[in-house]
Structure 1
Amino acid sequence: MALAVGSKAPFFKLYNTERREMSLNDFSGRTLVINFFPAAFTGVCTEQLCTNRDEVSFYKGLDAAVIGISVDMPFSLKAFKEKNNINFELLSDFNKVTIHEYEMYHTNFVCGIRGVAKRGVVVVDHLGHIGYSEETANPGIQVNFAALKEALERMKVEK
Protein backbone atom coordinates (compact mmCIF):
# COMPACT_ATOMS: atom_id res chain seq x y z
CA MET A 1 0.00 0.00 0.00
CA ALA A 2 1.51 3.31 -1.08
CA LEU A 3 1.86 6.31 1.22
CA ALA A 4 -1.04 8.75 1.09
CA VAL A 5 -0.59 11.88 -0.99
CA GLY A 6 -0.36 14.87 1.34
CA SER A 7 1.15 12.93 4.24
CA LYS A 8 4.52 13.93 5.67
CA ALA A 9 7.43 12.09 4.07
CA PRO A 10 9.21 9.78 6.53
CA PHE A 11 12.73 10.92 7.40
CA PHE A 12 15.60 8.77 6.15
CA LYS A 13 19.36 8.74 6.56
CA LEU A 14 21.19 6.29 4.30
CA TYR A 15 24.62 5.76 2.77
CA ASN A 16 25.35 6.51 -0.88
CA THR A 17 27.80 4.72 -3.17
CA GLU A 18 30.71 6.72 -1.73
CA ARG A 19 29.73 5.65 1.79
CA ARG A 20 28.59 9.18 2.63
CA GLU A 21 25.44 9.65 4.68
CA MET A 22 22.59 11.41 2.95
CA SER A 23 19.21 12.25 4.41
CA LEU A 24 15.86 13.63 3.38
CA ASN A 25 17.09 16.98 4.73
CA ASP A 26 19.72 17.15 1.97
CA PHE A 27 16.85 17.74 -0.46
CA SER A 28 14.74 20.17 1.59
CA GLY A 29 13.15 22.94 -0.43
CA ARG A 30 13.29 20.83 -3.60
CA THR A 31 11.08 18.20 -5.12
CA LEU A 32 12.58 14.74 -4.66
CA VAL A 33 11.86 11.72 -6.86
CA ILE A 34 12.64 8.52 -4.92
CA ASN A 35 12.92 5.38 -7.03
CA PHE A 36 12.58 2.22 -4.98
CA PHE A 37 13.90 -0.89 -6.70
CA PRO A 38 14.36 -4.53 -5.62
CA ALA A 39 17.94 -5.23 -6.68
CA ALA A 40 20.85 -3.89 -8.68
CA PHE A 41 21.94 -5.78 -11.80
CA THR A 42 18.46 -7.07 -12.61
CA GLY A 43 16.62 -6.36 -15.86
CA VAL A 44 13.61 -4.28 -14.86
CA CYS A 45 15.57 -2.41 -12.16
CA THR A 46 18.24 -1.48 -14.68
CA GLU A 47 15.54 -0.27 -17.07
CA GLN A 48 13.89 1.79 -14.30
CA LEU A 49 17.08 3.54 -13.27
CA CYS A 50 18.41 4.02 -16.80
CA THR A 51 15.09 5.59 -17.82
CA ASN A 52 15.48 8.01 -14.92
CA ARG A 53 19.10 8.61 -15.93
CA ASP A 54 17.95 9.56 -19.41
CA GLU A 55 15.29 11.91 -18.00
CA VAL A 56 17.50 13.79 -15.51
CA SER A 57 17.38 16.99 -17.59
CA PHE A 58 13.55 16.86 -17.45
CA TYR A 59 13.69 16.53 -13.65
CA LYS A 60 16.25 19.32 -13.30
CA GLY A 61 14.03 21.57 -15.41
CA LEU A 62 11.39 21.15 -12.70
CA ASP A 63 13.95 21.68 -9.89
CA ALA A 64 13.57 18.04 -8.88
CA ALA A 65 16.34 15.81 -7.56
CA VAL A 66 16.33 12.06 -8.26
CA ILE A 67 17.60 9.22 -6.08
CA GLY A 68 17.32 5.44 -6.05
CA ILE A 69 16.92 3.29 -2.93
CA SER A 70 17.40 -0.46 -2.63
CA VAL A 71 18.61 -2.88 0.03
CA ASP A 72 21.84 -3.56 -1.88
CA MET A 73 25.09 -2.70 -0.10
CA PRO A 74 26.81 0.58 -1.10
CA PHE A 75 29.61 -1.39 -2.79
CA SER A 76 27.18 -3.22 -5.09
CA LEU A 77 25.31 -0.01 -5.82
CA LYS A 78 28.58 1.71 -6.72
CA ALA A 79 29.44 -0.98 -9.29
CA PHE A 80 25.88 -0.85 -10.66
CA LYS A 81 25.99 2.95 -10.86
CA GLU A 82 29.32 2.93 -12.69
CA LYS A 83 28.34 0.16 -15.11
CA ASN A 84 25.13 1.97 -16.11
CA ASN A 85 26.42 5.57 -15.93
CA ILE A 86 23.73 6.48 -13.40
CA ASN A 87 23.88 10.26 -12.87
CA PHE A 88 22.07 10.52 -9.55
CA GLU A 89 22.55 9.17 -6.03
CA LEU A 90 21.86 5.54 -5.19
CA LEU A 91 21.29 4.91 -1.49
CA SER A 92 21.61 1.68 0.45
CA ASP A 93 18.80 0.71 2.82
CA PHE A 94 20.58 -2.49 3.81
CA ASN A 95 18.88 -2.45 7.24
CA LYS A 96 15.46 -2.13 5.57
CA VAL A 97 14.23 0.74 7.75
CA THR A 98 13.34 3.16 4.96
CA ILE A 99 11.56 0.61 2.78
CA HIS A 100 9.36 -0.20 5.79
CA GLU A 101 8.64 3.45 6.57
CA TYR A 102 7.77 4.19 2.94
CA GLU A 103 5.67 1.01 2.75
CA MET A 104 7.88 -0.38 -0.03
CA TYR A 105 8.81 -3.69 1.68
CA HIS A 106 8.33 -6.95 -0.24
CA THR A 107 7.03 -9.83 1.86
CA ASN A 108 7.24 -12.25 -1.07
CA PHE A 109 9.52 -11.08 -3.86
CA VAL A 110 10.33 -14.32 -5.70
CA CYS A 111 11.31 -17.82 -4.55
CA GLY A 112 10.16 -16.94 -1.03
CA ILE A 113 12.63 -14.05 -0.74
CA ARG A 114 11.49 -11.36 1.69
CA GLY A 115 12.94 -8.01 2.57
CA VAL A 116 13.77 -6.34 -0.72
CA ALA A 117 12.27 -3.06 -1.85
CA LYS A 118 9.14 -3.05 -3.93
CA ARG A 119 9.38 -1.38 -7.30
CA GLY A 120 7.88 2.05 -7.00
CA VAL A 121 8.36 5.77 -7.00
CA VAL A 122 7.55 8.38 -4.37
CA VAL A 123 7.72 12.11 -5.01
CA VAL A 124 8.33 14.36 -2.01
CA ASP A 125 7.33 17.96 -2.62
CA HIS A 126 9.39 21.02 -1.64
CA LEU A 127 7.56 21.17 1.72
CA GLY A 128 8.38 17.56 2.63
CA HIS A 129 4.99 16.00 1.84
CA ILE A 130 4.13 13.12 -0.45
CA GLY A 131 3.04 14.53 -3.80
CA TYR A 132 2.85 11.28 -5.73
CA SER A 133 3.26 7.62 -4.86
CA GLU A 134 3.16 4.48 -6.96
CA GLU A 135 4.12 0.90 -6.30
CA THR A 136 3.86 -1.87 -8.82
CA ALA A 137 1.93 -4.99 -7.80
CA ASN A 138 4.42 -7.14 -9.68
CA PRO A 139 8.19 -6.43 -9.52
CA GLY A 140 8.45 -7.37 -13.20
CA ILE A 141 6.22 -4.44 -14.15
CA GLN A 142 7.75 -1.00 -14.72
CA VAL A 143 6.56 2.15 -12.97
CA ASN A 144 4.31 4.49 -14.95
CA PHE A 145 6.77 7.16 -16.12
CA ALA A 146 4.05 9.14 -17.92
CA ALA A 147 2.01 9.45 -14.70
CA LEU A 148 5.16 10.41 -12.79
CA LYS A 149 5.98 13.18 -15.27
CA GLU A 150 2.40 14.43 -15.19
CA ALA A 151 2.45 14.56 -11.38
CA LEU A 152 5.76 16.46 -11.38
CA GLU A 153 4.47 19.01 -13.87
CA ARG A 154 1.30 19.48 -11.80
CA MET A 155 3.36 19.92 -8.62
CA LYS A 156 5.54 22.54 -10.32
CA VAL A 157 2.42 24.57 -11.20
CA GLU A 158 1.09 24.24 -7.63
CA LYS A 159 4.43 25.34 -6.18
Structure 2
Amino acid sequence: MPLSSGDTAPDFTLYDSDTQPFNLSDELSDGPVVLLFFPGAFTSVCTNELDTVGNDLGEYAGAQVVGVSTDSPFALAEFKKVHDFPFRLLSDHDGSVSADYGTKYDNDFTPMKLDRIAKRSAFVIDRDQNIRYAEVLDNAGEMPNLDAVKKTVGEVAA
Protein backbone atom coordinates (compact mmCIF):
# COMPACT_ATOMS: atom_id res chain seq x y z
CA MET A 1 0.00 0.00 0.00
CA PRO A 2 1.43 3.41 -0.95
CA LEU A 3 2.46 5.84 1.73
CA SER A 4 0.43 9.02 2.01
CA SER A 5 0.66 12.54 3.31
CA GLY A 6 1.16 12.51 7.08
CA ASP A 7 3.10 9.23 7.14
CA THR A 8 6.71 9.06 8.26
CA ALA A 9 9.00 8.55 5.29
CA PRO A 10 11.06 5.36 5.57
CA ASP A 11 14.76 6.10 5.83
CA PHE A 12 17.05 4.57 3.25
CA THR A 13 20.49 4.69 1.71
CA LEU A 14 20.80 4.31 -2.06
CA TYR A 15 23.67 4.95 -4.45
CA ASP A 16 23.44 7.61 -7.12
CA SER A 17 24.63 7.65 -10.72
CA ASP A 18 28.12 8.57 -9.49
CA THR A 19 28.02 5.60 -7.04
CA GLN A 20 27.89 8.01 -4.10
CA PRO A 21 25.62 7.17 -1.15
CA PHE A 22 22.46 9.15 -0.50
CA ASN A 23 20.95 8.71 2.96
CA LEU A 24 17.53 10.32 3.29
CA SER A 25 17.74 11.29 6.96
CA ASP A 26 21.18 12.86 6.45
CA GLU A 27 20.01 14.83 3.40
CA LEU A 28 16.95 16.16 5.27
CA SER A 29 19.26 18.16 7.54
CA ASP A 30 19.72 20.52 4.56
CA GLY A 31 15.99 20.90 3.93
CA PRO A 32 13.08 19.06 2.33
CA VAL A 33 13.59 16.34 -0.27
CA VAL A 34 11.47 15.62 -3.33
CA LEU A 35 11.56 11.95 -4.35
CA LEU A 36 10.48 11.27 -7.92
CA PHE A 37 10.18 7.53 -8.53
CA PHE A 38 10.17 6.66 -12.24
CA PRO A 39 9.82 3.35 -14.09
CA GLY A 40 12.84 3.41 -16.37
CA ALA A 41 15.70 5.41 -17.82
CA PHE A 42 15.50 6.37 -21.48
CA THR A 43 11.74 5.89 -21.72
CA SER A 44 9.75 8.74 -23.23
CA VAL A 45 7.53 9.77 -20.30
CA CYS A 46 10.35 9.40 -17.76
CA THR A 47 12.63 11.53 -19.91
CA ASN A 48 9.90 14.15 -20.35
CA GLU A 49 9.17 14.23 -16.61
CA LEU A 50 12.80 14.63 -15.56
CA ASP A 51 13.47 17.19 -18.32
CA THR A 52 10.45 19.21 -17.12
CA VAL A 53 11.66 19.11 -13.51
CA GLY A 54 15.22 19.99 -14.54
CA ASN A 55 14.03 22.95 -16.60
CA ASP A 56 11.95 24.20 -13.66
CA LEU A 57 14.43 23.29 -10.91
CA GLY A 58 14.49 26.88 -9.59
CA GLU A 59 10.81 26.51 -8.71
CA TYR A 60 11.75 23.75 -6.26
CA ALA A 61 13.98 26.17 -4.33
CA GLY A 62 14.63 25.09 -0.80
CA ALA A 63 14.28 21.38 -1.60
CA GLN A 64 16.63 18.78 -2.97
CA VAL A 65 15.09 16.93 -5.91
CA VAL A 66 16.16 13.36 -6.65
CA GLY A 67 14.98 10.80 -9.17
CA VAL A 68 14.69 7.16 -8.09
CA SER A 69 14.42 4.12 -10.35
CA THR A 70 15.28 0.45 -10.26
CA ASP A 71 17.83 0.94 -13.05
CA SER A 72 21.49 0.30 -12.22
CA PRO A 73 23.67 3.25 -11.23
CA PHE A 74 25.54 2.78 -14.50
CA ALA A 75 22.41 3.06 -16.65
CA LEU A 76 21.40 6.11 -14.62
CA ALA A 77 24.83 7.67 -15.14
CA GLU A 78 24.40 7.45 -18.90
CA PHE A 79 20.80 8.69 -18.70
CA LYS A 80 21.90 11.68 -16.63
CA LYS A 81 24.83 12.43 -18.94
CA VAL A 82 22.79 12.24 -22.15
CA HIS A 83 20.03 14.49 -20.77
CA ASP A 84 22.16 16.68 -18.49
CA PHE A 85 19.79 16.38 -15.54
CA PRO A 86 20.82 18.89 -12.84
CA PHE A 87 19.88 16.63 -9.90
CA ARG A 88 20.84 13.25 -8.53
CA LEU A 89 19.46 9.97 -9.83
CA LEU A 90 19.34 7.13 -7.29
CA SER A 91 19.44 3.41 -8.03
CA ASP A 92 16.95 1.27 -6.13
CA HIS A 93 18.21 -1.72 -8.08
CA ASP A 94 16.58 -4.38 -5.89
CA GLY A 95 13.32 -2.42 -5.59
CA SER A 96 13.35 -2.45 -1.78
CA VAL A 97 12.85 1.31 -1.34
CA SER A 98 10.12 1.31 -3.98
CA ALA A 99 8.42 -1.46 -2.01
CA ASP A 100 8.79 0.48 1.27
CA TYR A 101 7.11 3.50 -0.32
CA GLY A 102 4.35 1.38 -1.91
CA THR A 103 5.41 2.34 -5.42
CA LYS A 104 6.45 -1.05 -6.79
CA TYR A 105 4.38 -2.76 -9.47
CA ASP A 106 3.24 -6.26 -8.69
CA ASN A 107 3.69 -9.27 -10.97
CA ASP A 108 0.54 -8.45 -12.91
CA PHE A 109 2.03 -5.25 -14.40
CA THR A 110 3.02 -6.82 -17.70
CA PRO A 111 3.11 -10.24 -19.29
CA MET A 112 6.90 -10.03 -18.79
CA LYS A 113 6.42 -9.90 -14.99
CA LEU A 114 8.42 -6.72 -14.46
CA ASP A 115 7.67 -6.82 -10.75
CA ARG A 116 10.66 -4.77 -9.59
CA ILE A 117 9.73 -1.66 -11.58
CA ALA A 118 8.74 1.48 -9.66
CA LYS A 119 5.46 3.23 -10.38
CA ARG A 120 5.74 6.88 -11.33
CA SER A 121 5.39 8.65 -7.99
CA ALA A 122 6.17 11.91 -6.24
CA PHE A 123 6.81 12.53 -2.55
CA VAL A 124 7.72 15.72 -0.70
CA ILE A 125 9.40 14.99 2.62
CA ASP A 126 9.97 17.69 5.23
CA ARG A 127 12.98 18.05 7.56
CA ASP A 128 11.21 15.99 10.23
CA GLN A 129 10.90 13.07 7.78
CA ASN A 130 7.15 13.54 7.41
CA ILE A 131 5.58 13.03 4.01
CA ARG A 132 3.85 16.28 3.08
CA TYR A 133 2.82 15.27 -0.46
CA ALA A 134 2.32 11.82 -1.95
CA GLU A 135 1.15 10.79 -5.40
CA VAL A 136 1.49 7.26 -6.79
CA LEU A 137 0.30 6.66 -10.34
CA ASP A 138 -0.76 3.25 -11.64
CA ASN A 139 -0.55 4.46 -15.24
CA ALA A 140 3.11 4.87 -16.22
CA GLY A 141 2.03 7.09 -19.12
CA GLU A 142 0.84 9.83 -16.76
CA MET A 143 2.98 12.45 -15.05
CA PRO A 144 2.66 13.51 -11.42
CA ASN A 145 1.07 16.85 -10.64
CA LEU A 146 4.31 18.82 -10.62
CA ASP A 147 2.49 22.07 -9.84
CA ALA A 148 1.17 20.51 -6.62
CA VAL A 149 4.67 19.23 -5.81
CA LYS A 150 6.14 22.72 -6.29
CA LYS A 151 3.35 24.29 -4.22
CA THR A 152 4.04 21.85 -1.37
CA VAL A 153 7.78 22.54 -1.59
CA GLY A 154 7.03 26.24 -1.27
CA GLU A 155 4.95 25.63 1.85
CA VAL A 156 7.48 23.25 3.44
CA ALA A 157 10.59 25.25 2.60
CA ALA A 158 9.13 28.55 3.86
Taking structure 1 as the reference length, the TM-score comes to: 0.91
Secondary structure of the corresponding residue to residue 6 of structure 2:
coil
- Residue 40 of structure 1, CA deviation: 0.2
Taking structure 2 as the reference length, the TM-score comes to: 0.92
Q: Percent of aligned positions with the same letter in both sequences? A: 34
Q: Deviations over 1:54-112 (max 9, x none)?
A: 1211112xx10000000000000000000011010100000111001011101133334
The residue number in structure 1 matching 2:73 is 74
The residue number in structure 1 matching 2:26 is 26
Q: Which structure 2 residues correspond to residues 46-125 of structure 1 after superposition, within 5 A?
A: 46-60=47-61, 63-107=62-106, 108-111=108-111, 112-125=113-126
Aligned-CA RMSD value: 1.3
Where in structure 1 are there 5+ consecutive unaligned residues? Answer: none
The residue number in structure 1 matching 2:146 is 145
Which stretches of structure 1, 4 residues or more, deviate above 4 A after TM superposition? Answer: none
Q: Distance in 2 between matches of 1:132 and 1:65?
A: 14
CA contact (8 A) 2:68 2:92 kept: yes
Q: Distance in 1 between matches of 2:119 and 2:52?
A: 17
Equivalent residue pairs, number: 155
Where in structure 2 are there 5+ consecutive unaligned residues? Answer: none
Q: Deviations over 1:108-128 (max 9, x none)?
A: 333342210000101101111
The residue number in structure 2 matching 1:129 is 130
The residue number in structure 2 matching 1:45 is 46
- Residue 155 of structure 1, CA deviation: 2.5
